[in-house]
Each structure stands twice: as structure tokens, then as C-alpha cells.
Homo-oligomer: A and B are copies of this chain.
């Protein structure tokens, strides 16, 4: 069975149980599946538990590392900006997706709206406060890191 079919099966389990949207994902390294997951936003009351995030967390937990260098992510739909960024942080090197952002919009999910918001920088009203206090924190982090490594 293809990796994409396995991702579809993951998503199917989720939607039949009412756990969330039709999004499943599989992480593959050197031809081996090291993690998988599906959308559990409704089941877990967790807006971050998209299929890709679930699969990334599962793979990282399985290998005991926060790095997925050399891995491919298979996902039933083009990743939203949260999942795309999660893949970047994980060091994923290739993404294979099924449905497009427009297909996902057609079933009522806002990935296209959120991509526009992130690209325009006009996502959520923001203000800066106590930068000095936070820079002190950053300085302490730098000192601790220098001692440790």
C-alpha cells in the first residue's frame, strides 16, 4: 500500500470517529514509516492537533529526537501554515500532499485565509511590551548556553 493510502486510512479512522477534519499524515525515513497521525482537534480540544503535527510529534517521540532530517511527510492535503512551519522546525526535507489548499477551502477550512494573513503580516493585532525584560531573559539564555556547550 502506498504511503499516501496509509495517510488516507489514518484520516478515515479520525473522521469516522468524529475526531476532527479529514487530514492524515505519515512520516517516512529511508523507506520506513517512523510516525503517523490524524487530525484530533475536536477529540483532544486542541487546535494544534492537525494531522501533520500529530505525525511529527509521533515520529519524534518514536525516535527520541526533535529532528526529522532526511524525512518525507505524506499528507492528505497541502499543509496549513502552522503545519508547514512545524515541518520546517523539524527539518523535514520533502512533502507529498493530496488535496490542494483550494480543495481544503471547499470543505470549509481556512488554510487559504491564514496563508494570506501570514503573508500580509496582518494576522492578529499585535503590540510590543517590556522588550527590555525579555532581552534580559535572552541574555541569561545566552550565558547558560555558553556554560553548557
Chain A residues with CB under 8 Å of chain B are 2, 4-5, 8, 11-12, 15-16, 18, 21-22, 41-42, 44-48, 53, 56-57, 60-61, 63-68, 74, 76-78, 80-82, 84-100, 103, 106-107, 110, 114-115, 117-119, 123-131, 133-135, 137-138, 140-142, 144, 148
Chain copies in the assembly?
A: 2
Question: Separation in Å of the A64 CB from the closest CB of chain B?
Answer: 5
Enumerate chain B residues within 8 angstroms of A21, measured Cβ to Cβ. 141
Pick the contact of A80 from B57, B85, B126, B137 — CB < 8 Å?
Answer: B85
Q: How far is the CA of A110 from the CA of B140 in the complex (A)?
A: 19
Q: Are B85 and A141 in contact (CB under 8 A)?
A: no
